[in-house]
Structure 1
Amino acid sequence: MSAVVAGERLKKALSRSAREAGLTISHVTDKTRPWSSCSFEGGKHEIIITAVDSRELRSWLDQHDQDSLTVHGFTLADLVVSTIEALAGVATITVDALTIAEA
């Protein structure tokens, strides 16, 4: 499966997790590029999301890592909240991730 499919599934997993936590997030943009070696195929993802800045949002972000989400058909090898910028009560969050296609 392609890195683009992994990126779409990752965005859906983040959205589902946010809904379950009672949060509403919006995906502003995402950048996905293939990443592979002779032993695996995967993708590097940068997902930028926005949400109302709150303690609940910060707590939700703090609990996410590569073991906290399931991306069907892929192993989530890395997931890091790399930046959080808040302005006028709105947080813009950059999430960097690495997915590897399951055999």
Structure 2
Amino acid sequence: MGDEGDLAAIVWVAEHPLVSPQSADKSNKILWVARVGAGDGPLEIQATQEQTGQRVSRVVEPAPGPSIVDLPAPGCWSLDLTWGAHHDHLQLGYAEG
């Protein structure tokens, strides 16, 4: 759940749900669910790896909705999320793939 409670990331795998690099036999599936502005996509993601400060951008369209979000390294990622005039923030962990 985002810090503001406006966007939730539902991860679709139970054990080590998100991995980097992406696994050959499964995807990093995330369903984004918006409490506000559900049709105001696309979802713009500014991700920062907390250990190294590495930054990457991703766009999910149409969004919020289902997606595959691959990030370049394992670790804790801080995600700044913007869709339309809405903004939220959350953290996701990516395990070693």
Q: TM range, normalised to the smaller chain?
A: 0.3 to 0.5
Q: Mark the structure with the bigger radius of gyration.
A: 1
Q: Give the TM-score normalised by structure 2.
A: 0.41
Q: Normalising to structure 1: TM-score of the pair?
A: 0.40
Q: Bigger relative contact order, structure 1 or 2, given CA contacts below 8 A and separation 6+?
A: 2
